[in-house]
Chains A and B, each alone.
Chain A
């Protein structure tokens, strides 16, 4: 019965003289507020492909939706730590970004990344870092080590803000202690716990919101921060002569990168490839970067970037800075992280 109806509908559609059905299409599934309308308009004008955008607010949502059998998406943009999961779950397909003409524009450091070593499934999109920001005018000097955040001196005691997301805080502690992320070793996690407990008397808030507010009104002198937010904090603070600086500590910063991937169920694979190649062109990625305020691993973008994006120290990390990428932890190490966090806050 259903088959009958379906074929009847299909027959009707085939007969109807609408042009919409001959049109080429692309369904993009991306983060909320993360797609430059200008870039999409340009892509549509150049290729004649009509783009439809749907959005998600977390990698977990994306994963859950694909796992539940959602079909029809042609390009998705997951974070690096979800790339191996998507590959393992066979939710994405190989497409060989290296063979695309614009792949030559990708900065060398983003080629063959750890999460897709042979670059079969991904092409780079935006990337960013997590570190600490501080009020340089109140602190009186440059912050050079994460040690100044974990064991603050008089200038910052009682005025340290820490994220409320256990993974990020524990990763920063690992970075400072020189330990591996997602650590299953109880002895090393004990060190993390000791470090965070010793820091606690100097902490005023555990919160992942309002970092810039607290830095600018002086509640906090040092705060965990994301680079994109730090840029906003610096420009906001400058209005009242407050100096908010994003630190690149000698131990390094935590990195993330989003990637363009094609789901296994994509219906317009060729259009998806055209889109990915299009986005790897510097002038197009620059449009995208101006819109979101994040860096992208494409060479030659400078010409298209606005002044702020071109010069912001938060976005343009020094070449010698160590960027360590986080991972989605397995169950045993995740349990240890939760345990440490509960012990710190109980």
Chain B
């Protein structure tokens, strides 16, 4: 017994056991339940009927007409594309705004860096819902942005800039909510960056842009990829910002899942949509793992050179 416990494989397994139990209990079991529910029939008063049915997945792309024929319908596909589009846009904008912030912090003296990082994380102390409500006050009619225009007489008493209840407001809300998780990983990789390499690049007559493109970006890449993934995934399933700032006029993937469970009482379809969302997320993570491996191989090669 004692001898076998000393075998490395078993010891590794024992060491991993707590992690495996946590992942199994809190991730695999719920996902398995959801996957199972997505293949059952809906009970009209909520819940499921224990009978196998692929209807939920069929419903995603097809509609039954009165003669029970399947007709292609693009409605849910449009919701997916809209969610993807908004998530991509928010991620790119987060990157554009977040990178200079991370770079700025990384160039500060070491003792100041922690203060800046601390400031970046402050918004996390309050509830996301409250932070999103704040944007209603900023963007809304007679809000913080509109007031100066009104004082200057550029806006009539009953006119508005129309910032609220638009895609613009949704994207602003998403950027604000998720920018810290873009800044932190980029900062983590920039902090490790040896700025003598940047100086060396300048010494070798490289323009600022070329230095940025050929030295800084490749070295910060793991952080950029991690930040983008971390922002993209919650944006894809977000429903607070589309509901509060966008006026809930267009369903997003997140709101669609919520609607199916809460109001439409079609749990299998809600579960199916969640599974489809999950598939997207897993594909993103696989891509990330591959990109990270490639980046790792690259930096390894650099170190050996």
Asked if residues B141 and A206 are in contact (CB atoms below 8 Å), the reply is no
Asked if residues B75 and A203 are in contact (CB atoms below 8 Å), the reply is no
Q: How far is the CA of A330 from the CA of B142 in the complex (A)?
A: 44
Point out the residue from A60, A334, A335, A343 that lies within 8 Å of B75, measured CB to CB.
Answer: A343
Asked if residues A164 and B141 are in contact (CB atoms below 8 Å), the reply is no
B266 close to chain A: CB less than 8 A: yes
Tell me whether A203 and B142 are in contact in the complex, defined as CB-CB below 8 angstroms, given that A166-B263, A338-B264 are known contacts. Answer: no
Asked if residues A165 and B247 are in contact (CB atoms below 8 Å), the reply is no
Q: Which residues of B contact A338 (CB under 8 A)?
A: 263-264, 266
Asked if residues B79 and A331 are in contact (CB atoms below 8 Å), the reply is no
Quick one: closest A residue to B143, CB to CB?
A217
Q: How far is the CA of A150 from the CA of B223 in the complex (A)?
A: 50
Q: How far is the CA of A217 from the CA of B164 in the complex (A)?
A: 12
A200 close to chain B: CB less than 8 A: yes
Q: Which residues of B contact A217 (CB under 8 A)?
A: 140-142
B165 close to chain A: CB less than 8 A: yes
Asked if residues A342 and B251 are in contact (CB atoms below 8 Å), the reply is yes
Tell me whether A203 and B79 are in contact in the complex, defined as CB-CB below 8 angstroms, given that A165-B263, A219-B141, A334-B265 are known contacts. Answer: no
A346 close to chain B: CB less than 8 A: yes
A172 to chain B, nearest CB (A): 16
Q: How far is the CA of A343 from the CA of B249 in the complex (A)?
A: 11
A47 close to chain B: CB less than 8 A: no
Q: How far is the CA of A207 from the CA of B255 in the complex (A)?
A: 12
Q: How far is the CA of A166 from the CA of B255 in the complex (A)?
A: 14
A218 close to chain B: CB less than 8 A: yes
B248 close to chain A: CB less than 8 A: yes
Q: Which residues of A contact B247 (CB under 8 A)?
A: 203-207
B158 close to chain A: CB less than 8 A: yes
Give the residues from 188 to 231 in chain A that come closer than 8 angstroms, CB to CB, to chain B: 200, 203-207, 217-219
Q: Which residues of A contact B263 (CB under 8 A)?
A: 165-166, 338, 341
Tell me whether A219 and B44 are in contact in the complex, defined as CB-CB below 8 angstroms, given that A164-B248, A203-B249, A345-B249 are known contacts. Answer: no
Q: How far is the CA of A342 from the CA of B269 in the complex (A)?
A: 13
B119 to chain A, nearest CB (A): 31
Asked if residues B248 and A205 are in contact (CB atoms below 8 Å), the reply is yes
Asked if residues B164 and A207 are in contact (CB atoms below 8 Å), the reply is no
Chain B 46-83, CB-CB to A under 8 Å as 1, else 0, gives 10000000000000000000100000000110110000
A138 close to chain B: CB less than 8 A: yes
A232 to chain B, nearest CB (A): 19
For chain B, what secondary structure do more than half of its interface residues adopt (helix, strand, loop), or is it mixed? loop
Chain A 314-346, CB-CB to B under 8 Å as 1, else 0, gives 000000000000000011001100100111011
Asked if residues B141 and A218 are in contact (CB atoms below 8 Å), the reply is yes
A152 to chain B, nearest CB (A): 15
Q: Which residues of A contact B107 (CB under 8 A)?
A: none
Asked if residues B158 and A345 are in contact (CB atoms below 8 Å), the reply is no
A185 to chain B, nearest CB (A): 12
A214 to chain B, nearest CB (A): 8
Point out the residue from B75, B142, B265, B266 that lies within 8 Å of A346, measured CB to CB.
Answer: B75
Chain B 139-163, CB-CB to A under 8 Å as 1, else 0, gives 0111000000000000000101000
B143 to chain A, nearest CB (A): 8
Point out the residue from A138, A205, A334, A335 that lies within 8 Å of B249, measured CB to CB.
Answer: A205
Point out the residue from B158, B244, B251 that lies within 8 Å of A138, measured CB to CB.
Answer: B158
Q: Which residues of A contact B249 (CB under 8 A)?
A: 200, 203-206, 345
Chain A 141-177, CB-CB to B under 8 Å as 1, else 0, gives 0000000000000000000000011100000000000
Give the residues from 209 to 244 in chain B that come closer than 8 angstroms, CB to CB, to chain A: 243-244
Quick one: closest B residue to A158, CB to CB?
B162
B12 close to chain A: CB less than 8 A: no
Asked if residues A207 and B248 are in contact (CB atoms below 8 Å), the reply is yes
Q: How far is the CA of A207 from the CA of B136 in the complex (A)?
A: 14
Asked if residues B264 and A346 are in contact (CB atoms below 8 Å), the reply is no
Q: How far is the CA of A334 from the CA of B265 in the complex (A)?
A: 9
Give the residues from 260 to 302 in chain B that come closer than 8 angstroms, CB to CB, to chain A: 263-266
Quick one: closest A residue to B246, CB to CB?
A205
B250 close to chain A: CB less than 8 A: yes
Asked if residues B165 and A218 are in contact (CB atoms below 8 Å), the reply is no
* Residue among B158, B164, B264 having the largest count of chain A Cβ atoms under 10 Å: B264
B123 to chain A, nearest CB (A): 22
B199 to chain A, nearest CB (A): 54
Asked if residues B75 and A342 are in contact (CB atoms below 8 Å), the reply is yes
Q: How far is the CA of A338 from the CA of B141 in the complex (A)?
A: 32
Q: Which residues of A contact B165 (CB under 8 A)?
A: 204-205, 219
Q: How far is the CA of A219 from the CA of B248 in the complex (A)?
A: 15
Q: How far is the CA of A204 from the CA of B165 in the complex (A)?
A: 6
Q: Which residues of B contact A166 (CB under 8 A)?
A: 263-264
Q: Which residues of A contact B78 (CB under 8 A)?
A: 346
Starting from the known contacts A207-B248, A218-B158, 17 additional A-B residue pairs (CB-CB under 8 Å) come to A60-B46, A200-B249, A203-B247, A204-B247, A205-B248, A206-B247, A207-B247, A217-B140, A217-B142, A218-B160, A219-B140, A219-B160, A330-B44, A331-B44, A331-B45, A334-B265, A342-B264
3 closest residue pairs by CB, A with B: A331-B44, A205-B247, A338-B264
Chain B residues packing against A (C-beta within 8 Å): 44-46, 66, 75-76, 78-79, 140-142, 158, 160, 164-165, 243-244, 247-251, 259, 263-266
8 contacts between A and B (CB under 8 A): A204-B164, A204-B249, A205-B248, A218-B142, A219-B140, A334-B265, A345-B249, A346-B75
